[in-house]
Structure 1
């Protein structure tokens, strides 16, 4: 949302595809009642389109992927594990029919010293670094209470859209 803003409206589907889960360590089978698939589509005021597919319990532990298609090219931010050691990769292509190429994060975005943290730990460390920078330098890099409120409004809208089977306008 920091990069793209907030959508004006969304439609959502939330499904519990796996009503039972097996604990790998013990073999115990547990009931599972929470949605493990959430699909959201929406639109922005400028006509841009949002599509998001959040999938839990992947058998092959695939992570996340964010695709951004703009008027001048494409960006793909992805990783291969949800909570593992791999950190985000960034690929981009500018122009039409161009191959995606790996991009390096510019040094000015590396606020932390070299370390051996895994991807999830590194993302949390950067969040704390953003908070520290906000306090010491008066910046606004870290999410705020307003950001949290907007996220909860979006989650509420996803639940309403799924329940009612209807498109929901956001504030």
Structure 2
């Protein structure tokens, strides 16, 4: 382990920690996971044994205070993150938080202000923009591949957040948990869209709760729901182009991800049959230049320089996370800003607020 190695303490040992974070961190020489803590100590001990983590803490605050921890990764449910992130910042530790950063915009703004005041580095798990195809699409647009952007369209369709869900995620039934189609899939994939084509300027939206009753799979218990599970929005981009958004949860036959970007000189299309936990990277298609009118879109291979990880054997969704951690390490070493930060999280909170407020005005 070199002096530059970032020593990580992980809080949370659930499915995304053991499927995503710990395997991703294990592949990166810049990091060493030295401690783990979880609500159930047995879960932390199991993760420690599987991934060779030397220290297990029953008390998360003891992990945060550990002098051998440089970076605290907070992977708990959203409603539990504020005090843990705040404690890590107060301890002078760099901190990673899953997205959503918090359940309320004001709380996320407070954490951003605190991190900046304390001078600690911070990252948030908006890792989808780090995928090779997404970064290549961003660079192609910046280089003028499509010319001036005329329109951008995104469709995300998933089977998650349907009318029947297992008991282990019943805590998401409460709209105040901020864990639904708009906050999760909107947060991740609108971040991808707008980092490619630039930020939105004006928007109008419609939000619906099409599954007004949710059922716990194991018990048959039902609850009334106010969570959004279908979202549409249209608007203008800062650069003058148009955009449209469709987010749909609980699909019986998931449609996945599709982004279309049309411009004065060409077209780009980014697709994936699985929007989340995908085993393969998004596929990028394009056409531009001197092609005759009506020419078909062709696959655009992603250059190898966008695939810089030392281990490509993990599922692509986990590799996206590894790309984010690698960007964080480069930022720390070089003073750059490649990784998504709490500032990006606050931007997403504000965007979601705008979508919700537009829909509420329409319904008033």
TM-score by length of 2: 0.42
Query: Superposed, which structure 2 residues align to 1:56-95 within 5 Å?
Result: 56-84=249-277, 85-94=279-288, 95=291
State the Cα distance separating 1:101 from its structure 2 match. Answer: 0.9
State the Cα distance separating 1:162 from its structure 2 match. Answer: 0.5
Distance 1:160 1:83 in 2: 27
Local SS of the residue matching 1:13: strand
State the Cα distance separating 1:119 from its structure 2 match. Answer: 2.9
Query: Superposed, which structure 2 residues align to 1:14-163 within 5 Å?
Result: 14-21=207-214, 26=218, 28=220, 30-31=222-223, 32-84=225-277, 85-94=279-288, 95=291, 96-163=293-360
Answer 1 or 2: higher relative contact order, Cα 8 Å, separation at least 6: 1
Could you say if the C-alpha distance between residues 74 and 27 of structure 1 is closer, same or farther in structure 2, counting changes exceeding 3 Å?
farther
Distance 2:350 2:204 in 1: 14
Over the aligned positions, Cα root-mean-square deviation in angstroms equals: 2.1
Mark the runs of 5 or more structure 2 residues left unpaired by the alignment.
1-193
CA contact (8 A) 1:63 1:80 kept: yes
State the Cα distance separating 1:27 from its structure 2 match. Answer: 7.7
Any idea what the Cα deviations from partners look like across 1:107-131, whole Å, max 9, x if unmatched? 1111212422223222222111211
Mark the runs of 5 or more structure 1 residues left unpaired by the alignment.
167-171
CA contact (8 A) 1:63 1:79 kept: yes
Aligned length: 165
Any idea what the Cα deviations from partners look like across 1:110-161, whole Å, max 9, x if unmatched? 1212422223222222111211121122222112332222211111101100
Any idea what the Cα deviations from partners look like across 1:89-113, whole Å, max 9, x if unmatched? 1111115322111111111111212
State the Cα distance separating 1:21 from its structure 2 match. Answer: 4.5
Instruction: Out of 34-43 and 59-68, give the one that drifted further.
Output: 59-68
Local SS of the residue matching 1:83: coil
Higher-Rg structure is: 2
Any idea what the Cα deviations from partners look like across 1:3-53, whole Å, max 9, x if unmatched? 2221111101111122235566x4846444311111111102332001111
Could you say if the C-alpha distance between residues 108 and 57 of structure 1 is closer, same or farther in structure 2, counting changes exceeding 3 Å?
same
Local SS of the residue matching 1:133: helix
Distance 1:23 1:115 in 2: 37
